[in-house]
Structure 1
Amino acid sequence: RSTITRINLATLPPQPDLDLGHSKNRYAIMSESLLSSRNLAFELYEVLDAEGLTRRERFAEHSRETFDAALGTARTIAEKYFAPHNRKADENEPRYENGEAILIPEVKPAVDAFLAAGFLNASRDFEAGGMQ
């Protein structure tokens, strides 16, 4: 029972494939400017053998498909909610005034999407609302 398959981000655009080498995905150009999907897949699956985790009891319910789904969701959130205001956020760094953190307003929907996807608690057990 993977919580990754239960993520409901219907308001976000479709998740891009991780292998964008021959993809006609409309996000391919933007995605590659954030992080090379091909390099990420190589590092995760060839160098680090992330799929080997699925041989452990704790991660037995996962597969390369669930890993790719989580990465696709993270990429979508990064592209739609974080990347558009990167420069503005750099130019207007957070500050602390009168007991409050002051950030540009674009940060809130980005963090909300991150939280809605379950990434804050991703490392927790399924029973604790995590992705284990």
Structure 2
Amino acid sequence: MSKIEAKNKLVMLITELMRLTIKNEIQWESKTPPRYLIEGTDDIVPIYFSVKYKDKTIALFIRRTRQYNGEFDILHWTEEVKIAIVESDTILWENTQYSSSVHDLYKRVQEQVSGLNSLLDSLL
């Protein structure tokens, strides 16, 4: 499979997860991140969501990492949203490139899990 085909399939997966999330046909859960994501590393995973989709566990999480800036001789934190396929607390696959659609999905999942929409609906 070419990189373009793989990228297109990833976009299709994210689009389907977004559609199902918006319709509340899948329910994401907030969980403690698996230990392997945070042990033995300086990375921080403050938020970790997962959902079952077609017999696979899909994880969506924020990973904060420290990076060195040689120009100013300082360490600073960077943050990225990741989507992964997980099995038995092991990442089988993780996206490696920035994707705005992953960020959009993350925002929808965060709204669903937090109950923001139902809270706002109750105000009307």
TM-score (norm 2): 0.27
Structure with greater proportional helix content: 1
Structure with greater proportional strand content: 2
Q: Compare relative contact order (CA 8 Å, sep 6+) and give the higher one, 1 or 2.
A: 1
